[in-house]
Amino acid sequence: MAKEDNQNRTELAALGEFGLIDRIAEKFSTFKHQETALGIGDDAALMDCGDFYQVVSTDMLVEMIHFDLSYMPLQHLGFKAVAVNISDIAAMNAIPKQITVSIALSNRFSVEALDAFYDGVHKACEVFGVDLVGGDTTASNHGLVISITAIGTVDKDKVVKRSGAKSGDIVCATGDLGAAYIGLQVLVREKQEFQANPQMQPKLEGYDYVVGRQLKPMARMDVIHELGKVGVVPTAMMDISDGLASELLHICRHSKVGVNIFEDKLPIDEVAYENAVEFQLDPVTAAMNGGEDYELLFTIKQDDYEKIKNLPDIHTIGYIQAEEKGKNLVTKQGNVYPLQAQGFTHM
Ligand code: ADP
Ligand code: MG
């Protein structure tokens, strides 16, 4: 590696993850191939195949950053690693078809452990109807690293990007939000208590729902199929991996619009709400900034509202407005707070 000139050293933290991606994207913004229809910046890239686009997305999971094997069973990890990639394909309104799975692992793992991981991968392939067609296997000094690429297809007139939201559109979110983050806090507490007292049995009763949301996320392909059946193509869409606030800001930035979201419309599961309060977490902050829900966030034309209003598990949470009107959360009391990607404190 070349020696770094300390005078010209910029810390990665100064750019942040999104600044870093923008910096990479700038270097590779012109394409050599006509088929390359969309590159860095959305949930997946698009390749022009005539009548349809091929959709490609990749995600990496790193032990002790994205998962902790002391509370993440390997079978669940295998399923989750696939599901989070399928979620990005769903976010383009596309149908997933193939995956590749690459792993780096140390001799700490047994054949049985690897089998358990691939049982989870296999289950996900069945559930989401995808074929595993390749990957790579390599050694790692520290921990397990998993990189999955998912490939799908979407008709050209059905593709949904982050950039299509228009003023007046209705903002929808699927399922419920915040529970995966609350589940993580439950698991972290259990781990701490176990480390302090290894005789202790885990106390997870009453927390099944939130723990399940953390360990077994479900990419919402069911919603993509439902929207297809009623003939609604959202104007913009992405999946909720980093928290609702962060994803709303992405849609607003790409679509050059503002948004108003209503606190009393946020879909928060009742049990998750109670669990959060018990853990002294604000359920609204968990929903806005928690992350890992892998639900879908999308916008639709007002004219399409009638078609979706009776679909299960789709909630209208706000509306798109002109950019200069801002990107806000309107509280139950009617106070207006600008959305923040991280660190929004509700209390
Ligand atoms: P998501 O959360 O939907 O998986 P990310 O925030 O990981 O999306 O990535 C946003 C966009 O940046 C995607 O288009 C992704 O392909 C791209 N991206 C992320 N990291 C890199 C990288 N190191 N090089 C090139 N593109 C990247
Ligand atoms: Mg995504």
> Mind listing the pLDDT tens digit for each residue in 313-322?
999 999 999 9
**Ligand 1 atom, smallest distance to 91 CA:** 3
- Ligand 1 atom with the smallest distance to the CA of 57 is 16
Using 50, 70 and 90 to split pLDDT, how confident is the model at 231?
very high
- For 56, 80, 166, 253, the CA distances from 174, given in Å and listed in that order, are 23, 18, 20, 21
Q: Where are the domains of the chain?
A: 33-155, 170-338
Rounded to whole angstroms, the Cα distance separating 235 from 233 reads 6
pLDDT tens across 200-226, in order?
777 778 899 999 999 999 999 999 999
For β-strands 36-38 and 45-48, DSSP reports them as antiparallel
Q: What are 265's strand-pairing partners? A: none
Q: Encode pLDDT of 149-194 as tens digits.
A: 999 999 999 999 999 999 999 999 999 999 999 999 999 998 988 8
Ligand 2: centre distance to CA 278 (Å): 30
Per-residue confidence (pLDDT) for residue 345, from 0 to 100: 37
116 C-alpha to center of ligand 1: Å?
28
Does residue 344 have a pLDDT over 70? Answer: no
CATH of 33-155, picked from 1.20.200.10, 3.50.30.30, 3.30.1330.10, 3.90.226.10, is 3.30.1330.10
* Residues near ligand 1 (Cβ within 6 A): 21, 24, 40-43, 59, 88, 241
pLDDT tier, 5 (very low <50, low <70, confident <90, very high otherwise): low
Cα–Cα distance for residue pair 66/47, rounded to 1 Å: 29
Alpha-carbon distance 258 to 224, whole Å?
A: 25
Please give the average per-residue pLDDT across 249-268, as a whole number: 98
Q: Which CATH superfamily is domain 170-338 in?
A: PurM-like C-terminal domain (3.90.650.10)
pLDDT greater than 90 at residue 196: no
Ligand 1, residue 42: give the atom nearest the CA: 14
Banded model confidence at residue 341, pLDDT cuts 50, 70, 90: confident
Answer yes or no: is pLDDT of 343 > 70: no
Q: How far is the CA of 92 from the centre of ligand 1 (A)?
A: 14
Residues that constitute the known binding site:
43, 57-59, 66, 88, 118, 135-136, 162, 239, 241-242, 292, 344
Q: How far is the CA of 89 from the centre of ligand 2 (A)?
A: 8
**Neighbouring residues of the ion ligand 2, judged by CB less than 5 Å:** 43, 88, 239
Which amino acid is residue 125, in one-letter code?
A: C
Check pLDDT > 80 for residue 271.
Answer: yes
4 pLDDT above the threshold of 90: no
Which residue from 20, 24, 31, 40 has its CB within 8 A of the most atoms of ligand 1, so it is best to mutate? 40
Kindly report, residue by residue over 282-315, the tens digit of the pLDDT.
999 999 999 999 999 999 999 999 999 999 999 9
